[in-house]
Structure 1
């Protein structure tokens, strides 16, 4: 199945676990860890400013840019597969109308005046843009500064693939008709039609402390849809009634959270909804994430409040028609993280969810409340760490930017098919993000946190939960480590180099929540190549290399060889830089074709000059075997 467009069209395939995919982010994050999240460029090339530059196959899924209407209008140019001329150009005023960037896959949002703070214009796109070899995005204006007249800030979220198999590079002439039909019918089931059985309960009353079972199934199948109507929907009901779903008689519930979170309406002040779950304007709640099981399914409702709650109707639809799609072990269970109850974490990110095992995150919910109404509380960045990596793999320049809005939450409710927010102006607010294309894959863990204010300097009580597909078994194992600068470690790994510029010691910080903790390490700068032998698992499905490096200068680049064979799918390339928080951990996935069946591999990294860099630097390597 082609990667990119088809992945988003087939909502029924979301539970299937995919190999060789990583999620990545590039955007305007303050390099000093404060709140100056507005300068967005990597480097200048002739008369263009490069804002995105990756080597290897992948797919852009989310493009967002914020700017004041008074600023000059930039032209965004998309270059693919090393081409000298852009394949596609678009201006902010064309989002929503220039094919294929048409509504609702792409649109423009204009915020309010907001007492002189605004307005701010946000253009956003969820149009999938796959590429087989590389992608570069430029603008003819420098996007900088927080002031009116400045160019503005933004981000790109994308998938990186280990191989170009089934990747067809974006041309701009693709048909997005099926995807557009889905996105134009929010509130309807986005999955292909399949025969299903309805399990309906009419006039269901739950007394305080009472629980009831609304689904009990034996054998394989999948929950197709859940639709509910509350007789008198009150915000407290959405928090007091919890849903508890257990698949295949697991010891712990797979899904356990308030129905307000389950239906994307944690606050319940205004009805909001995205493609996968929400509340329709008529008050009906819906949830369409497929939930496969192989032996049994049980769904219960629990009233944890002090008042009775009455449902006019609760209907769960199940199907066996999709059983062939969901191979056990290669398909994830639909799960929620434990509900993060409202609390403030002073001086540190609120960790909304920690996930262990293998899978991919498909939706997140975060609510924020301050002590006083009306306070601007949207400045906190979302930061997502995957598989234990120290550098965040996904970030956001403010809370609202994660859901592709801008300038806080002054006008709730707001909705598009992939994100929404509810609340009162700025406080309280509640946001939901569906990741139907840009889901976040993980092989051992995922940690999702959010700042409280500009740099964790505000009192904000966060709450929320994450939805994901997962299995308990991890998908990778740490099989070796190389500590550069340690003679014993270098000797064990037969480490050698050509073109050494010498060793040096650096004391600095990583970006992210832990950016106050100083780390000291010794590394090596190399103008030629470095080489070492690493232990891997012979039954590997590929190998992941993780490196600690100094990102003082950007555009670090190296060709990677495994046992003398060049990895042709991509070079190891990090285009960004940070002269303040200089530690970077980045990764390189070696496809299984180079590593399968081997218990040892020889890695050679050959420096390639790009931009301002004059050497490849390396401080530490972790070697993981993918399962």
Structure 2
């Protein structure tokens, strides 16, 4: 186990819950899954392409780590075998059948498992398998099945997703998954939900018993000067409404609170109908609520309980455990560590015809948990078909998406059997409506350098009346880590000349009017170029950069576009620019390539050459627009 302060990768991200506040540089989160390409609710086909006798459902180039794998299947459908290929290998390194999730090492409970839903229209109970087993890889990863995952009828079995981290560069500590790893430490943590998942952090407690807070009043439950870290908060609050009492936390004298959350959301369940709990926060069977997110500060801290209800409140118990200044400074270097924060709480309301924005975060950091609650107009309505969509740093293509709300928290076919929990996610409510879901993103946190927007559909395709509320928890700082330093408009003669744009093997320009996979009907028209050779251009960057991010708008009518990236004549060896998916309906795609700082540090401009390599059906590399960001 690593004890240094470097960015945790792979297994250590789950073993070292105490390192969750450390900022993630050189890490991006992505999603691949069975999303209806026309933007409706036919999410059951999961296929990128066919490779010999196998069906490819995941294919990425470059170092990274898979953190979440989910697949839905009807019991009457043929059972798939999933095969994992790493680092360009032609033989699978690991295989697992659908029925083996939860039993075959290292995919054992509770790191992996299955959910069996109720009967549904005579089609049989749907079986959902899920895994949070970290699967790192140094160069590449491909996942296949021996049968095609398609269809929503009895005997079919599609749906599924993979959530993974992509690293700008590998390192000596990033060792490709073998299937022989010992996950004993992680399993021990995951089997003790309700206990503090962090390693022993010597702390002292500030305890409160029989607190009385009048209507409209507040009480300070923790206050400190100097550096420290809140290790946990434990409370007994029976009978208090989930929205009457609020937790307000302010670190280092900030003008606005870093956390302002209703009691229910702070402890992982807005509805509070049943006691549910995940690793980070929840309520135990004995009625004690807990929040174990580490909350470091460097100059001061103040935690208040605010009574926003109309009646006086009595709190039986509220305990705050916290560490010393020395322990905090050694574990959490200021500037490389984020503050524990919450997005502005979204009050319950409907958004008509568009995704409901649950949270909008600015600055630099990484999201670690999401709480979403929904109400339909009548009980029993299936109200969970809305996809979650997460946009990071202003990109127009969602970096995280889900085939329904229930799939986001690794269940399936509605929310019919509340309460349901596993160590990383769960839901409460009444069958299907209302519901409240919670998702912990510990290994698969969502890094952002400028902005994160978390939205969710209302119904199949924003065609349902739903009132959504919710909040996001994250670690962050106010200063953004991304600076737009240049833009290249392909097809615009002046922009091309200003950037010295040339293309070899060019097949000419063409115009396209289409939409993005963003749940809207907006159309955008642009002109770009195709090349079967290379394209080259020179762009401005900030010499203080810690790397450069290239963002491209392209036409994804065909999949498996690949180009090798050269910077000032030197190839970026860590990965090629590769995107395996396609969408012939919503054809606009924005994807990114991160250039490590050793190619860019100290420079004011770089010359980029993109050399096309034919892969599968794709015969050309197409490009319409480039944004150039310096990582600062």
Instruction: Tell me the TM-score normalized by structure 2.
Output: 0.98
State whether structure 2 residue 557 is matched by structure 1 residue 552.
yes
Cα separation, 2, equivalents of 1:4 and 1:241? 38
Match in the other structure for 2:404: 398
SS of match in other structure, 1:407? coil
- Alignment match, 2:542: 537
Q: Specify the SS of the correspondent of 2:14.
A: helix
Q: Name the counterpart of 1:191.
A: 198
List aligned pairs for 1:211-360, cutoff 5 A: 211-230=218-237, 232-234=238-240, 237-320=241-324, 321-360=327-366
Residue equivalent to 2:69: 63
Conserved in 1, the CA contact under 8 Å of 2:124 and 2:154? Answer: no
1:24 CA drift (Å): 0.3
Contact 2:123 2:153 in 1 (8 A): no
Contact 1:23 1:441 (C-alpha < 8 Å) held by counterparts: yes
C-alpha separation in 2, matches of 1:210 and 1:599: 55
Q: Where does 1:74-153 land on structure 2 (aligned, <5 Å)? A: 74-114=80-120, 116=122, 118-153=124-159
Retained in 1: the 8 A contact 2:74–2:123?
no
Q: Summarize deviations over 1:135-171 as a string: whole Å, max 9, x none.
A: 0000000000111111321000000000011211000
Deviations 1:428-453 (A, max 9, x none): 00000000100000000000000000
Residue in structure 2 matching 1:24, options 14, 24, 30: 30
Tell me what 1:422 maps to: 428
Aligned to 1:463, the other structure's residue is in SS state strand
Match of 1:592 among 581, 593, 597: 597
Partner of 2:577: 572
State how far apart, in whole Å, the 2-side matches of 1:233 and 1:328 are: 39
How far apart, CA to CA, are the structure 2 residues paired with 1:115 and 1:559?
Answer: 49
3-state SS of paired residue (2:185)? helix
1:141 and 1:151 in contact (8 A); partners too: no
Task: Indicate the residue corresponding to 1:206 in structure 2.
Answer: 213
The runs of 5 or more residues in structure 1 that have no matched partner are none
Residue 280 of structure 1 and its aligned partner are, at CA, apart by 0.2
Distance of 1:523 and 1:437 partners within structure 2: 38
- In structure 1, C-alpha distance between the alignment counterparts of 2:33 and 2:510, rounded to whole Å: 30
Whether contact under 8 Å (2:269, 2:371) holds in the other structure is no
1:472 matched to 2:492? The reply is: no
Give 1:205 shift. 1.7
Residues matched between the structures, number: 623
SS in structure 2 of the partner of residue 530 of structure 1? strand
CA distance in 2, matches of 1:309, 1:95: 46
| Distance apart, 1:194 and its partner CA | 1.7
Deviation of 1:256 (Å): 0.1
Give the C-alpha shift of residue 361 in structure 1: 0.2
Separation (CA, whole Å) in 2 of partners of 1:251 and 1:334? 15
Deviates further, 10-19 or 204-213:
204-213
Matches for 1:8-19 after TM superposition, within 5 Å: 8-19=14-25
1:116-145 Cα shifts (integer Å, max 9, x gaps): 465110000000000000000000000001
Q: What SS is found at the alignment partner of 2:189?
A: helix
- Conservation of the 8 A alpha-carbon contact between 1:66 and 1:120: yes
1:439 paired to 2:445? yes
SS at match of 1:101: coil
Are 1:503 and 2:501 an aligned pair?
no
Q: Which residue of 1 aligns with 2:5?
A: none
Are the aligned partners of 1:22 and 1:160 in contact in 2 as well (CA < 8 Å)?
A: yes
What's the CA shift for 1:308? 2.0
| Alpha-carbon distance between aligned partners in 2 of 1:575 and 1:195, rounded to the nearest angstrom | 48
Deviations 1:555-591 (A, max 9, x none): 0000000000010000000000000000000000000
Q: What SS is found at the alignment partner of 1:209?
A: coil
SS at match of 1:102: coil
- Once residues 462 and 577 of structure 1 are traced to their aligned partners in structure 2, the CA distance between those partners, rounded to angstroms, is 31
> Contact 1:367/1:431 (CA < 8 Å) preserved in 2?
yes
Matched residues in 1 for 2:197 and 2:257: separation? 26
Give the CA deviation at 1:323: 2.5
Match of 2:174 in 1: 167
Residue 115 (structure 1) shift = 5.5
- TM normalised by structure 1 equals 0.99
After the TM superposition, list the runs of 4 or more consecutive aligned residues in structure 1 that deviate by more than 6 angstroms. none
- C-alpha distance in 1, partners of 2:275/2:466? 23
Any idea what SS the aligned residue of 1:447 has?
strand
CA–CA separation in structure 2 for the residues paired with 1:119 and 1:14: 37
> Cα distance, 1:482 vs. partner?
0.2
Say if 1:222 and 1:323, in contact at 8 Å, map to a contact too. no
Q: Please, which runs of 5 or more residues in structure 2 have no aligned partner? A: 3-7
Q: Which moved more, 1:177-186 or 1:322-331?
A: 322-331
Question: How far apart, CA to CA, are the structure 2 residues paired with 1:14 and 1:323?
Answer: 15
Counterpart of 1:606 in structure 2 is: 611
Deviations 1:299-333 (A, max 9, x none): 00011111222211100011022331111111000
> What are the equivalent positions in structure 2 for 1:506-517 lying under 5 Å apart?
506-514=512-520, 516-517=521-522
Does the Cα contact within 8 Å between 1:274 and 1:417 map onto a contact in 2? Answer: yes
Once the 2 structures are TM-superposed, how far is the Cα of residue 513 of structure 1 from its aligned partner? Answer: 2.9
Mapped to 2, the partners of 1:185 and 1:105 lie a distance apart of: 12
> Retained in 1: the 8 A contact 2:70–2:160?
yes
The answer on whether the counterparts of 2:280 and 2:291 sit within 8 Å (CA) in structure 1 is yes
In structure 1, distance between residues paired with 2:124 and 2:437 = 20
Measured in 1, the distance between the counterparts of 2:77 and 2:446 equals 34
Q: Deviations over 1:340-364 (max 9, x none)?
A: 0000000000000000000000000
